[in-house]
Each structure stands twice: as C-alpha cells, then as structure tokens.
Amino acid sequence: MASSAREGAYHRLEDARFWAAPKLDHAAHSVEDQLAPRLSMLLAQAARRVDPTPMKAKSRSWPTMILFAGLAVGAAGFVMYRRNAQHWAEVMKSSADEAKSKAGETAESMGSMGEKLNKRTDEVPGKKP
C-alpha cells in the first residue's frame, strides 16, 4: 500500500511539474518583456536622482537668440515707422503750403477778374449809372 501511494504521489507530482513548467516559462517571459523594462527604468531614474554629479544644463541659446532677433526686428520697424511719419509730415506741410499759395493766386486772379467784370458792366450800353 505504501508503494502504491508513493507511485500515485510520484505521478501527481510529475503531472504538476508538466502543468507548472509552461506556466513558469510564460511568467518568466512576461517578467522579461513587461516588468523588467519598467523596473530597469525606475532603477535608472533613482540612480540619476541619487547621483551627486551635476547634470548637463539644457542649452538656452536658441530662445535667447530668437528673443534678440525679435527685438532687433521690432527696433528696425520702429525706426522705419518714425522715418515714414516724418516724411509724411513734411509732404503734408509742403502740400499745405502749395495749397495756400494756389489759393492766394486764385484769390488774386479772381480779384483782377472782378475788376474786369466791373469795368465791363460799366461799359454795358443802356445801363444807367
């Protein structure tokens, strides 16, 4: 009876091993494919945090260069605006002076025309003075 119990236990243990071997192999591959990379990443981050050597600072030259380029373009635009505004003011002043002189000439010519008109109306026959 003891030998048959031992035989039965041996077969059950062997069956359990046949069942467990693929399960353990699958678990090993799952740990290797899924858990190990995550665990490795966590350990690497912890090592970087603990490491006393300073990390290389990120380059801040590009944003600074863009900022200065923007300031330069803005300054150039402001100078061009001011120059254009001064030129426009000069043009308007000269056109206003020209308009005044034309108005003066027109008024003078109208005045001389008025005298000529008065002279002609005086010469109209049949007009009583």
13-30 pLDDT, tens digit per residue, is: 888 888 989 999 998 888
The tokens of 93 are what? 């002043």
Phi, psi dihedrals of residue 123, rounded to the nearest 5°: -85, -5
Please report, to the nearest 10 degrees, the dihedral formed by the alpha carbons of residues 20, 25, 30, 35 taken in order: 90
How far apart are alpha carbons 35 and 45 in whole angstroms? 15
Residue 126 near residue 120 (C-beta atoms within 8 A): no
* E runs forming strands in 12-111: none
Give the whole-angstrom CA distance, residue 17 versus residue 11. Answer: 10
pLDDT, mean of residues 84-108: 80
pTM: 0.32
Check whether 121 has a pLDDT greater than 60: no
Residue-averaged pLDDT of the chain:
80
Using only C-alpha atoms, what is the Rg of the chain? 53
Q: pLDDT per residue over 41-74, tens digit each?
A: 888 888 888 888 766 666 678 888 888 899 999 9
Query: How far is it, in rounded angstroms, from Cα 99 to Cα 44?
Result: 83
